Structure 1
Amino acid sequence: MPLHHLCEPVELAPGISVWAERVVHGPKSTRLDRFPHYHGVGELVVFDEAAGSFWLDGEEARLDPPCLVYVPPMCHHDYNLEPGQKSWTLIQIDPAIIADLAHTLPEIDLTHPFVGAPDRMQMEHIRSLCSLLLQISQATPQASIVIKTIELILWLAAATRSTSPTSKAGPKRIALPVDRFRPALEALQADPAHDWSLEDLASRCHMSAPYFSRRFSEIMGMNLTAYIRVYRLQLAARRLVQGREAIGLIAHDAGFSSPAHFAFQFKQRFGLTPRAYRQAGQTRSPNPALRTRA
């Protein structure tokens, strides 16, 4: 059975740094299709009930709830959940928050994925904090207590990090198609404003330009030009709600040729002008995380 595209554009709404939601599937629920993917936000999934397996950056292991899985931004992952009762808490975290927490909590490695196997007491603490986060992230999403709560949750989650393989045979390395594009994606992340050409990025991946173009579209679900545009817009959107920098400067740093071009592309993507998006981020009422298409 063919798999879906590996790229899942997940964007938090303006002004939202952390979003939490509870997911429950009843005892008659069917198997959840595989969906190997990655996204720009970080993710923590606290599983209460589920049977199946998961992949983190190409390593496969069994899912053994109660457990948790931390996935940093741009890390390829997938869940294969069997039929029956399933429940978990999903927490999505803005990558800028993760970068800040990496300095606040240097003892926790938030740049790599990990699996946690909490004991009963640890799980009770994590569930209590998740319940608090579910309330405050929806009622007062911009409050500083939201950041403090996710900091505590991540600190507790890291303390449950498994030191032994989660399956008897140990993790199994699975090569994902997107792995071949890592050099290109890392180059774009390092210098998003650079005028990247198809030939430049294809050569970094040791592919011909036509082959790179075709495979990139197949795997990512969008062509290279669209991917670069979406990535730049996501970076710009984050800066708009984080400070009061001039919109023209943000547009330039993100690689857009002019503020007018940036404003046009931004409104097409988000449905708001950059200025309106910034204002919404400062005064918004709580809404779920936005999942948008390229």
Structure 2
Amino acid sequence: MDVLSDAIAAMRTGRPHSSRTVRLAPWGFRFPPGKGAGFHVVLQGTAWLLPPDDAPPVRLGPGDVVLLAHGTGHGLADRPDTPLVDAVPAPDGSWPTPPDRGPVGGEETLLLCGAYQLDRDLAHPLLTDLPPFVHLPARVGAHHRLRAAVDLLGAELAEPQPGADAVIPALLDTLLLYLLRTWWLTERADLTTGWSAALADPAVAGALRALHEDPARPWTVEELGTLAGLSRAAFARRFSALVGRAPLAYLTWWRMTTAGRLLRTGDLPLRSVAGRCGYSSEFAFAKAFKRQYGVAPGRYRKGAVHAP
């Protein structure tokens, strides 16, 4: 798997949810902070995103997309000064559709909104480095694949067809990947440091891809440098500057993140989990795991204590 796909797979839990609703002005909803991530798409009309901490409101026009990757509490309304009512999530993480309170004939806004359930204990820096909200304005001729995913999801929600229960979650997963890809590889392509630059750097991106494809391999910095076409020292400097960790420190972190996912989602024996994460000794694996998570692998699996 590539780095972006792996980052999402490591964090994702449960099923994503979405809704397509028409709002009649005046309307306004307050979304509380949560563990997952959410998005809003304005299909028709306009809306205002009301960030927390007295940040200025953000006007959203037709085709605009907003991703709130950290589960940040926020408001969404027809105008910045419209009073907000609380939107309360259901136990499964979905957002029930609040009733319209606008009068007949009020200005209409068509919204596509969704939520993802994520385990932030297994968060990859690709996501933790994102700002509180990502705003992707609609631009003529831009973000074709993202727009196609939005159109497909909107159409499926408007007129569900046989197989919708399988299609909609798949489209939501696709939309999340396109949102992140658009931000990191297009909107932030001008950055010279951090994960945007790391993904755009052929040498570092190739090394990251190799580590994610085979985390159990006993990699050396020299091997990774050869793969990247750089000397050992030059590769180590470039990797550390862009990724924020030395190559083998990142490998160890990713192995432990992978171990956490395997323990959380499956019933593989500990020796098998250790082997998949590059440890021939179950004892060495347990020691490394406890160093990162603060608990032994078996206790983590039982859920007695969540990873910090």
- In which range does the TM-score fall when normalised by the shorter chain? 0.3 to 0.5
Structure possessing the higher relative contact order (Cα contacts under 8 Å, 6 or more residues apart): 1
**So what's the TM-score if we normalise by structure 1?**
0.47
Q: Look at both structures and tell me which one has the larger radius of gyration over its CA atoms.
A: 2
**So what's the TM-score if we normalise by structure 2?**
0.46
